Structure 1
Amino acid sequence: MIRVLIIDDEPLARRGVRVCLRRAGDVVIVGEADSGETALEKLVELRPDLVFLDVQMPGMDGFEMLLKVDFEKLPLIIFLTAYDSYALEAFGVHALDYLMKPIDDERFDEALRTARKRLHDMRAGEQLASKQNLLPAREASPRDAWQARFEVKSGGRTFWVSTDDIDWIEASGDYVILHAGRRIHMVHGSMDGIEQRLNPSGFARIHRSTIVSLDRVTGLSLLSTRDAVLTLKDGTELRVSRRFRHRLRPDMERLAPSKLRQS
């Protein structure tokens, strides 16, 4: 069962979430909260798997509340908001998804399916990690040389993100952020360490703070500064510093137009 906590200062909004959740047979609502302060207590007391969290609440809003929660203990978060402008900020704090008010049934079901799959992966990861801890240590074989997945810890649980799903990676202090489609995942580590663990035939360091999956690259624009810009399949543009230009595969250079794009 998925343990759900609903956090919203509006009674009608909480009721709307409850009604949507009734369609799911694998969900139990363990509690509700009408303020950020009450929500912090409920998170500790109830330890939900999934939280539906309103962005705008009097006193302490949803973002402020999350800053007071230990990152490792965060459950999965689906934001509720009446303003689309909060979407990017929601993903910036590692929200699983966000739903616009009034809630659309189809979007709600989609978000719940995403949560269900993520929890399944996380629980499977916990079981695998437990089994692996019982195995004797062994030397890495050649096929183990390149990392195939990253361990991600969130909400007190562990799951894995395959390197095949990663579009690009950026540095963030003592962590790196894995960009995988619409999802982002934070992993402890340095760019140098991550780079050494990735297969160079599939990933390239293009900046001191950026690594890209070469399979996601669709275009290369050369700049007059001798830097370059990579365009990915989803439209994301990433700067390539001159220091790292040589890391790109030769066929990447052929994507560049004959005219230099002015910076």
Structure 2
Amino acid sequence: MRVLLVDDEPAALERLSALLADASDVSIVGTARNGREAAQAIADLKPDLVLLDIQMPEASGLAVAAALPLDERPEIVFVTAFELYAADAFEVEAADYLLKPVRFDRLRQAIERARRRQALRAAAARAESALAAPADEDPDGFWVQVRTGFVRVPLADIDWIEAAKDYVLLHTATRSHIHRATMNALERKLNPAELTRVHRSAFVRPSRVKEVQRLGKGLISLMLQDGVSVAVGPSYVNAVTGRLALYQD
């Protein structure tokens, strides 16, 4: 995976470089120290992944990510010293959000998640020219297109769901599947007691939530049993905490 590092602090760039030296199948293709340099480096180098600071001169990391064309953007992992931007980071569909000082285990987890998302989106592009899927009228699952045809993914197997442009990623304990659907269509289909909408771009199975993490200013994220952290949108916080309280009861 080709990685671009963006941070206005030289020490932060050095730390990320040192951590990535121990990561497998990762190469650093460049660095940038402000928002303008970041946007230019992304356009010139076309990295697979950008480790992007948020508070920078010229333009913030959030502004850089929001301005990227959706059909050309790399995976984004924000790296910042501040928790308060977590909800904003996931609004621009970041793959992950790391707090400084970055730990190697969290960095590795973020890279693997970005790698998985990249592979799934590539599969979606290939699927555009394939045969149409069977009518998705199964109330207890999804028919998902794969290279050799279609497979059924039961709702009971899904731990959480995230939006990916015109598709959704159905995450199970063993693998992730990409499926063409809208979040609003899913909300009409899914039982909120089993898969609860926690963000405009995410659903989570309450029974898979291991920990509720408070991010400050009333914001929270959900740590799932496999270590994935899913941000809860500000407008969903009360409903999600209420749903989790009911589930625990």
Structure 1: which 5+ runs fail to align?
151-160, 219-231, 240-253, 258-263
Distance 1:41 1:188, change over 3 A: farther
CA-to-aligned-CA distance 1:114-161 (integer Å, 9 cap, x gap): 22333333344445x16xx255x68749769964459xxxxxxxxxx9
Instruction: State the one-letter code of the partner of 2:52.
Output: L
Bigger CA radius of gyration: 1
Q: Is the 8 A contact 1:204 1:211 kept in 2?
A: no
Following superposition, the deviation at residue 113 of structure 1 comes to 2.5
Find the partner of 1:165 among 153, 158, 161: 158
Aligned mates of 2:71, 2:17 — CA distance in 1: 27
What does 1:184-263 align with in structure 2 at a 5 Å threshold?
A: 189=182, 191=184, 193-194=185-186, 198=189, 216=206, 237-238=238-239
Aligned pair count reads 203
Q: Is the 8 A contact 2:39 2:64 kept in 1?
A: yes
Q: Is the 8 A contact 2:195 2:206 kept in 1?
A: no
CA-to-aligned-CA distance 1:201-234 (integer Å, 9 cap, x gap): 998999xx99978x7489xxxxxxxxxxxxx998
Distance 1:166 1:109, change over 3 A: closer
Instruction: State the one-letter code of the partner of 1:101.
Output: K
Q: Is the 8 A contact 1:149 1:162 kept in 2?
A: no
Following superposition, the deviation at residue 54 of structure 1 comes to 0.3
Corresponding position of 1:76: 75
The percentage of aligned residue pairs carrying the same residue is 30
Corresponding position of 2:211: none
Aligned mates of 1:32, 1:211 — CA distance in 2: 31
Corresponding position of 1:67: 66
**SS in structure 2 at match of 1:55:** coil
Q: Is the 8 A contact 2:133 2:144 kept in 1?
A: no
Distance 1:237 1:217, change over 3 A: farther
Q: Does 1:109 align with 2:142?
A: no
**SS in structure 2 at match of 1:109:** helix
Aligned mates of 1:54, 1:26 — CA distance in 2: 22
Following superposition, the deviation at residue 103 of structure 1 comes to 1.6
Tell me the TM-score normalized by structure 2: 0.59
Structure 2: which 5+ runs fail to align?
146-152, 173-177, 209-221, 225-231, 241-245
Corresponding position of 2:243: none
Q: Is the 8 A contact 1:21 1:27 kept in 2?
A: yes
Corresponding position of 1:58: 57
Corresponding position of 1:120: 119
Tell me the TM-score normalized by structure 1: 0.57
Aligned mates of 1:141, 1:176 — CA distance in 2: 14
Corresponding position of 2:9: 10
